[in-house]
């Protein structure tokens, strides 16, 4: 390690608490310091390069060092580096981005509210829905329906919607009224001999039973990722979203599509809800909105939601919610340029084409003795590692094998993510055939080496 790298590592260890990290383990292991990025690759402080097959955190659509985004940010910094949107103020970048998002959005989503992150956006959705129902004289209609293994953020409210144990454990969450339904993952939660279609019907019946048990007049909204991401990359079973959308309409429940990972081309369509054929009342975006070059999220919602909120702001005199950086001019300018590039370069189409190549290549791994299931859509995929392939038996404890594969990935020059023992892939939308083939080759070596380690450790079920 160079003197500079060692100095940086020591400073990190002396000062930082890292997210999603075992702090004591980090004290022993130290940080991997990423120094620069170029295209689909990043380089650490020792000069080693890695294919960033997770797009950072599911988010760098255009890859790293896209000069047009740098120039867009610089130009806006020189013109108007900051202004707020409180008390009737506005500026062109946020106005134009709002206009562009409405143009791109599914029909009926005509209003926009900006935040800084997906967590803040989902937190804001909760407040908007509560505000709306109070205004409509429905003070009991406050509960949310979410799903086990769903991911919606980490604030107190959005973290409550999230359905992952480590996001609740010792945080005293959930802290809002939320009911978590069965995760719509057929491989793990389907009954023996149950078809995917019958599994979907069972989950829809469960949702309706829950609504009736809780009382429809108390259920405000159903929130879900069209394709579930951080919980393990899980596409929905056929017919699932049709049934959920019909239930929401039947019982006057708002349908919220969390598109923070799915949005802007990830599945080979502009939005995930379009892939699965449903139209939400509220749609949440972030991550690929700016390729995460700057923090930004946007909530798109219908006139029905807007009118109820707007009428109440007139009664009260304000909408008492917002952030210092809501609609930040530099972030929204970068978002505009980012979306322009996605359209100009047909990166949604590229995601569909390269996604087909990725999914076909991954399908070969289904025969590997360590692999239980390969799943995904477009440029997002998950490979689940199991102790017993025939019985679908997970490793005990879950996550030990996945973490080892994650570590081997760094040695092989491939940055992936393990959700428990599922290896997740989410490469930038700019990937080429050569990039996809390199990802597949490196991932295969990772799984082979992990299999050797599992056998050596005697972990096979």
pLDDT tens for 104-125 read 999 999 999 999 999 999 999 9
Has residue 17 been placed in a domain? no
Same-domain status, 352 and 209: no
For 193, residues 6+ apart whose C-beta sits below 8 A from its C-beta are none
- The total of other beta-carbon atoms located within 10 Å of residue 92's CB is 14
Has residue 294 been placed in a domain? yes
Is the pLDDT score of 4 beyond 90? no
Same-domain status, 91 and 60: no
Same-domain status, 119 and 52: no
Residue range 270-312, pLDDT digits in tens: 999 999 999 999 999 999 999 999 999 999 999 999 999 999 9
- Number of domain units in the chain: 2
- The residue out of 306, 329, 344 marking a domain boundary is 344
**What was the pLDDT predicted at 5?**
80
Residue range 322-332, pLDDT digits in tens: 999 999 999 99
Same-domain status, 75 and 162: yes
**What was the pLDDT predicted at 379?**
98
CA distances from 167 to 26, 160, 234 (A): 19, 8, 19
**Cis amide leading into 428 (omega within 30):** no
Same-domain status, 329 and 411: no
Is the pLDDT score of 461 beyond 70? no
Is the pLDDT score of 434 beyond 80? yes
Same-domain status, 73 and 61: no
- The residue out of 290, 309, 344 marking a domain boundary is 344
Has residue 322 been placed in a domain? yes
Is the pLDDT score of 460 beyond 80? no
Tokens of 198: 């019958």
Same-domain status, 42 and 53: yes
- How far from the centroid of its chain's Cα atoms is residue 170's Cα? 23
Q: Is the C-alpha dihedral spanning 428, 434, 440, 446 positive or negative?
A: negative
Tokens of 191: 């009954």
3-state SS of the chain is CCHHHHHHHHHHHHHCCCCCCCHHHHHHHCCCCEEEEEECEEEECCCCEEEECCHHHHCCCCCECCHHHHHHHHHHHHHCCCCCCCCCCCCHHHHHHHHHHHHHCCCCEEEEEEECCHHHHHHHHHHHHHHHHHHCCCCCCCEEEEECCCCCCCCHHHHHHCCCHHHCCCCCCCCCCEEEECCCCHHHHCCCCCCHHHHHHHHHHHHHHHHHHHCHHHEEEEEECCCECCCCCECCCCCHHHHHHHHHHHCCCEEEEECCCCCCCCCCCCCHHHHCCCCCCEEEECHHHCCCCCCCEEEEEEHHHHHHHHHHHHHHCCCCCCCCCCCCHHHHHHHHHHHHHHHHCCHHHHHHHHHHHHHHHHHHHHHCCCEEEEEEECCEEEEEECCECCCCECCCCCCHHHHHHHHHHHHCCEECEEECCEEEECCCCCCCHHHHHHHHHHHHHHHHHHHHHHHHHCCCC
Residue range 230-239, pLDDT digits in tens: 999 999 999 9
Tokens of 450: 């992990």
pTM above 0.85, yes or no: yes
Has residue 284 been placed in a domain? yes
Has residue 255 been placed in a domain? yes
pLDDT classification of 385: cutoffs 50, 70, 90: very high
| Domain span at 373 | 32-65+346-457
Residue range 212-256, pLDDT digits in tens: 999 999 999 999 999 999 999 999 999 999 999 999 999 999 999
pLDDT classification of 345: cutoffs 50, 70, 90: very high
CA angle 91, 261, 292 (to 5 degrees): 45
CATH number for position 295: 3.40.640.10
- The residue out of 344, 363, 383 marking a domain boundary is 344
Is the pLDDT score of 196 beyond 90? yes
Has residue 287 been placed in a domain? yes
CATH number for position 418: 3.90.1150.10
Is the pLDDT score of 11 beyond 90? yes
Same-domain status, 238 and 351: no
Residue range 135-194, pLDDT digits in tens: 999 999 999 999 999 999 999 999 999 999 999 999 999 999 999 999 999 999 999 999
Kindly state the average pLDDT of the residues 262-269. 98
Same-domain status, 124 and 53: no
**What was the pLDDT predicted at 386?**
98
Same-domain status, 99 and 134: yes
Q: Are strands 282-285 and 254-258 parallel, antiparallel or unpaired?
A: parallel
Same-domain status, 269 and 120: yes
Torsion angle of alpha carbons 67, 73, 74, 78, nearest 10°? Answer: 160
d(CA 321, CA 326): 10
pLDDT classification of 1: cutoffs 50, 70, 90: low
Phi/psi of residue 174, each to 5°? -70, 145
Has residue 7 been placed in a domain? no
Same-domain status, 260 and 127: yes
- What integer best gives the mean pLDDT of the chain? 97
d(CA 452, CA 188): 25
Has residue 320 been placed in a domain? yes
pLDDT classification of 3: cutoffs 50, 70, 90: confident
């Amino acid at each position: 390690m160079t003197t500079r790298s060692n100095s940086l590592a020591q400073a990190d260890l002396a000062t930082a608490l890292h997210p999603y990290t075992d702090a004591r383990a980090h004290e022993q292991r130290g940080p991997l310091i990423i120094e620069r990025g170029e295209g689909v690759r990043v380089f650490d402080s020792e000069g080693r390069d890695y294919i960033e097959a997770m797009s950072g955190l599911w988010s760098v659509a255009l890859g790293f060092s896209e000069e047009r985004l740098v120039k867009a940010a610089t130009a806006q910094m020189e013109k108007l580096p900051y202004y707020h949107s409180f008390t009737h103020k506005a500026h062109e970048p946020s106005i134009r981005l709002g206009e562009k998002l409405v143009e791109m959005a599914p029909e009926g989503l005509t209003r926009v509210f900006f935040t800084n992150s997906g967590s803040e956006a989902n937190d804001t959705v909760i407040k908007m829905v509560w505000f709306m129902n109070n205004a409509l004289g429905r003070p009991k209609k406050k509960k949310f329906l979410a799903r086990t293994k769903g991911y919606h953020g980490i604030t107190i409210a959005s973290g409550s919607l999230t359905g992952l144990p480590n996001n609740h454990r010792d945080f005293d969450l959930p802290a809002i009224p939320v009911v978590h339904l069965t995760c719509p993952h057929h491989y793990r939660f389907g009954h023996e001999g149950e078809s995917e279609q019958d599994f979907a019907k069972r989950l829809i019946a469960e949702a309706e039973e829950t609504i009736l048990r809780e009382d429809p007049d108390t259920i405000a909204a159903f929130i879900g990722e069209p394709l579930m991401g951080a919980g393990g990359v899980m596409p929905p079973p056929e017919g699932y979203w049709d049934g959920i959308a019909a239930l929401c309409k039947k019982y006057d429940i708002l349908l919220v599509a969390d598109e923070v990972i799915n949005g802007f081309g990830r599945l080979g369509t502009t939005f995930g809800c379009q892939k699965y054929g449903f139209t939400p009342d509220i749609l949440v975006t972030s991550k690929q909105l700016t390729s995460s070059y700057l923090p930004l999220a946007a909530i798109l919602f219908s006139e029905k939601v807007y009118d109820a909120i707007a009428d109440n702001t007139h009664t009260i005199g304000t909408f008492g919610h917002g952030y210092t950086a809501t609609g930040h001019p530099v972030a929204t300018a970068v978002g505009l340029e980012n979306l322009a590039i996605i359209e100009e370069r047909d990166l949604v189409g590229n995601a569909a084409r390269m996604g087909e190549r990725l999914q076909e290549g991954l399908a070969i791994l289904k025969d590997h003795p360590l692999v239980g299931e390969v799943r995904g859509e477009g440029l997002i995929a998950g490979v689940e590692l199991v102790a017993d392939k025939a019985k679908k038996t997970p490793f005990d404890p879950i996550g030990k094998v996945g973490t080892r594969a994650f570590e081997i990935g760094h040695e092989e020059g491939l940055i992936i993510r393990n959700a428990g023992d599922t290896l997740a892939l989410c490469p930038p939308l700019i990937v080429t055939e050569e990039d996809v083939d390199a990802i597949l080759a490196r991932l295969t070596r990772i799984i082979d080496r992990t299999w050797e380690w599992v056998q050596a450790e005697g972990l096979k079920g």
